[in-house]
Amino acid sequence: MNNVNEFFKAAGQTRNKQVVCADGFSMSVQAHAGAYCKPRGNNEPKYTHVEIGFPSEREPMLMEWCEDSEDPTGTVYGYVPVQIVTNVIVKHGGLIDGTVPRGVAPIPAISFEGMLGET
């Protein structure tokens, strides 16, 4: 097994693909039995709190939940309310790649290219 995703797949678990936002901001957003989330289980119908990991830059909206404030891009953020995560995604222009757990709104990035008749 060469990577984490292969390990979890072999263990019968999957992880969400890293979220990448329109402005380049990225973070891991996870919810499963081994994550700091509510409810703490696999494949729950809806999560109210999720675990954020390793954001690409310090994000002030997440700092309240930061496990290591001295290294905000190298740590996890436990039990972050899903509305906060949704707000962070919107702040950074919406999703262009990645997946989020049920309960987090997967707000897509909006492209205005061509909307005003421009090419």
Which residue ranges make up each domain of the chain? Answer: 4-97
pTM for the full model? 0.84
Give the separation between CA 113 and CA 7, rounded to whole angstroms: 40
Looking at residue 17, the DSSP 8-state letter turns out to be P
Could you report the per-residue pLDDT of 61-119, keeping only the tens digit for each?
A: 999 999 999 999 999 999 999 999 999 999 999 999 999 999 999 999 987 665 555 55
Cα angle value 78/21/59 (rounded, 5°): 45
Pull the structure tokens for residue 52: 């954020």
Give the separation between CA 20 and CA 26, rounded to whole angstroms: 4
